[in-house]
Amino acid sequence: MLRRRLTSLLSTSIRNAHNQFHTPNSILLSRISHETSLLQFAQCPPDFPNPSTNRFFSYQNTRAYSSLLALNDLRDNKGARKQKTRKGRGIGSGKGKTAGRGHKGQKARGTMKFGFEGGQTPLRRRLPKRGFKNPFSLTFQPVGLGKIAKLINAGKIDSSELITMKTLKDAGAIGKQIRDGVRLMGRGAEHIQWPIHLEVSRVTVRAKAAVEAAGGSVRRVYYNKLGFQALLKPEWFEKKGRLLPKAARPPPKQRDKVDSIGRLPAPTKPIPLTHNEKEEMSA
């Protein structure tokens, strides 16, 4: 601070000396020598022009040095920081007494439910309804027989064991997000040349016929949300110190669409066919 004040004082004196030619040289030299001693006492930086060597040094250099920005000169732009409105702090604040709410009425006394329009039919009820979402709809992840045959040939799936939805997930045949189960599709059915046994949620007619023609079997099993979690991630229950849940029975609307209840943990051997199922396959 002292350095900037001395620099401004020195620049002012030099400007006056240039403008006033009638000032005696003795007075000008005495003033410069006095200000030079003050600058030496203030310890000017090495790049600052030395007044002892240059009697009349450049006024531009002095002005450039005096215009440098210091940390204590930093300020926010005007209007950059706006103070929070303080309500109810007297009439002088502009928001006193009623605090901007006005006089009486529902808006002055309390809050209202969001969307309330004073008793008239609100906008959300005036607009027509569009669309429908079935709460009982199910989303199955499809997988084709051609992909399963490709994974069997690659050695990622053992065709001698039961192929469950956990087997398909671990082999990468389906994604990690399985919402309501897996649907077996008939794409690539010509690649199935050996018997395989599968347990899925749904199966198409073409896929079931292709698997049974090769000597295999497909069983439709039911798992609820918790059962799917226990089937796909049994380690989660072990980590939490919980037992695997019991298999849930299908709801009435799905009983005719499944063959049996899904077993927990993931089975490795297929369920033996009943007498009626053997007759259906032979027919």
Q: Is the peptide bond before 128 cis (omega within 30 degrees of 0)?
A: no
Report the percentage of the chain scoring pLDDT > 90: 53
Task: Supply angle C-alpha 200, 248, 261, rounded to 5.
Answer: 40
What is residue 261's DSSP assignment? E
Over the stretch 108-122, which tens digit does the pLDDT of each residue have?
Answer: 998 889 999 989 999
Q: Which residues fall within 8 angstroms of residue 248, CB to CB, at 6 or more apart?
A: 222, 223, 224, 226, 227, 261
Distances (CA, A) of 169 to 24, 80, 148, 246: 101, 56, 11, 22
Distance in angstroms (rounded) separating the CA atoms of residues 31 and 38? 11
Q: Residue 129: what pLDDT?
A: 92
Instruction: Name the region of 240 (left: φ>0; alpha: ψ -120 to 50; beta: rest).
Output: alpha
Amino acid, single-letter form, for residue 129: K
Residue 269, both tokens:
């051997």
- The shares of helix, strand and coil residues in the chain, as percent rounded to the nearest 5, are 40, 10, 50
Amino acid, single-letter form, for residue 117: E
Q: Residue 83: what pLDDT?
A: 87
Report the percentage of the chain scoring pLDDT > 70: 72
Residue 277, both tokens:
């199922």
Over the stretch 180-219, which tens digit does the pLDDT of each residue have?
Answer: 899 999 999 999 989 999 999 999 999 999 999 999 999 9
Tell me how crowded residue 54 is: count the other CB atoms within 10 A of its CB.
Answer: 10
26-53 mean pLDDT = 50
Residue 77, both tokens:
């732009």
Q: Residue 277: what pLDDT?
A: 60
Q: 14 falls in which pLDDT band (50, 70, 90)?
A: low
Q: What is the CA radius of gyration of the chain?
A: 44
Distance in angstroms (rounded) separating the CA atoms of residues 171 and 204? 22
- Backbone CA torsion sign across 231, 233, 236, 239: positive
Mean per-residue pLDDT over the chain, rounded: 81
